[in-house]
Amino acid sequence: MELELIASGKVREVYAVRDDPTKLLMVATDRISAYDRVFAEPVIDKGRLLSAISAAAFTALGDRFQTHFVDVPIDVPAQFLGRATLVKRAAMIPVECVARGYLVGSAWDAYRTDGTVQGVALPTGLGFGDRLKEPIFTPTTKEETGHDRPLTPLELRDLHGIELAQRLEELTKAIYVALATWFSEHGLTLVDSKFEFGWVDGDLVLADEIATPDSSRIVRGEPGASPEWLDKQLLRDWLSEHGFRGDGQAPVLNGELIESVQGAYRQVYETLSGRSFDDWPGGHD
C-alpha cells in the first residue's frame, strides 16, 4: 500500500492511498489531547485501542447506517499495524454532532443556569448524571483553530440549511441509540458521544472514529452522581485537579494518570468485544 500523508490532526494522521483515490488510511497515534491541547506524553497503545474500539462499533452497527468504514487492514507498514483504519474518503461537514443521553459535563452546567441545553428545554428537577427521557442533540462547530462553538438548532439551520440540519439531528440520535443499546448489552453506558458526517458520492455517511473513549463519555453501569469514567474525562478531571482548565502552562502527565487512561480504554475494548486486547494486531511482545 503506497501512502502519502495529507493531514495531521490532533490524534490521527490521514494518508491518501496512491492506487485508490476514493480511500483514506486514518492512522491513530498514541497522542492525547484535551482543551484543544496535545500533550507531549503519549498514552502507549492508545492508537491501537481507539482503532479497535471504533472498528468494533462500526461492525456492531452493521448495515443499519451508511458509514465510511472499510476495514482495519493488515497489509500496512509494520508501525501502522492495528492502528490504521481504511475508510471511504468523504467531503467532511464541519460540525461535531453530539448526542447526550445523560445530564453531565457542559450540558449539566448549561441546564443549571437556565434549564436549557443549547436551545433544548429540559424538564425541571433533574440532577447531575440523570438519564434524559430522549437523547438530545447538541452540535458544535468544528473549528480549524481555536475552540469549537456550541450551536443551537436555529444556528445549525442557518449554517447548513434546514434539510441537512434535520438529517444530521435524526442520524445522530439514531446512531447514538443503536450504539448505546450495544453498550448496555455489555454492561456499559454510552453517556454521550460525538459523530462526524461527510458526503461520499452524494450520500451522507457516518465518518471519523465512533464510540471511542476520546469521542464519548463511558461508564460501567449507570453514571450516577459521581461517575467512574472510562474515557478521556479521566484526563480532564485530573487536569482540573491540577489547576488546569485550558489556559496557561499545562501540567506534565504523570505515569499514574497515563496508566489509568490506558487501563480504562483497554477495559472498554475488552468489555465490548469480549476479546483480549493482547490479540489485537500490532502488539509488542
- Distance set, CA 97 to CA 1, 27, 90, 113, 146 (Å): 32, 22, 16, 23, 18
For residue 139, state whether it binds ligand ATP (rule: CB under 6 A): no
Task: State in angstroms the smallest separation of the CB of 219 from ligand ATP.
Answer: 23
211 vs 55: CA distance, rounded Å:
9
Task: Identify any residues that bridge with 16 across adjacent strands, giving them in sequence order.
Answer: 4, 24
For residue 9, state whether it binds ligand ATP (rule: CB under 6 A): yes
Task: State in angstroms the smallest separation of the CB of 200 from ligand ATP.
Answer: 7
- Size of the residue set binding ligand ATP (CB under 6 A): 16
Nearest to 268 by CA among 207, 208, 206, 209: 209
Q: Across 47-176, where does the E strand assignment appear?
A: 69-71, 84-88, 91-92, 95-102, 116-117, 120-121, 131-137, 140-141
Burial class (CB in 10 A: 0-12, 13-18, 19+), 41: middle
Name which of residues 217 to 236 contact ligand ATP (CB under 6 A): none
Choice from 72, 90, 230, 239 touching ligand ATP (CB under 6 A): 90
Q: Which residue's C-alpha cell is 443551537?
A: 152
* H or E segment to which residue 13 belongs: strand 12-17
Choose the stretch contacting ligand ATP; rule: CB under 6 A; options: 11-19, 46-54, 178-186, 228-236.
11-19
For residue 258, state whether it binds ligand ATP (rule: CB under 6 A): no
Choose the stretch contacting ligand ATP; rule: CB under 6 A; options: 86-94, 119-127, 237-245, 263-271.
86-94
Nearest to 44 by CA among 26, 57, 30, 23: 30
- The residue nearest ligand ATP at its CB is 9
Q: Closer CB to ligand ATP, residue 88 or residue 220? A: 88
For residue 266, state whether it binds ligand ATP (rule: CB under 6 A): no
Choice from 45, 130, 192, 208 touching ligand ATP (CB under 6 A): 208
For residue 14, state whether it binds ligand ATP (rule: CB under 6 A): yes
User: What is the separation of C-alpha 109 from the centre of its chain, rounded to a whole number of angstroms?
Assistant: 21
> Which three cell numbers, joined as nine digits, stand for 273?
468485544
Q: Closer CB to ligand ATP, residue 23 or residue 186? A: 23
For residue 175, state whether it binds ligand ATP (rule: CB under 6 A): no
Q: Closer CB to ligand ATP, residue 92 or residue 177? A: 92
For residue 24, state whether it binds ligand ATP (rule: CB under 6 A): yes
For residue 95, state whether it binds ligand ATP (rule: CB under 6 A): no
Dihedral of alpha carbons 220, 49, 256, 40, sign:
negative
For residue 12, state whether it binds ligand ATP (rule: CB under 6 A): yes
Task: Identify any residues that bridge with 14 across adjacent strands, giving them in sequence order.
Answer: 7, 26
Q: Which residue's C-alpha cell is 483514506?
A: 24
Task: State in angstroms the smallest separation of the CB of 163 from ligand ATP.
Answer: 22
Interface with ligand ATP (CB under 6 A): 9-12, 14, 24, 68, 87-90, 92, 196, 198, 207-208
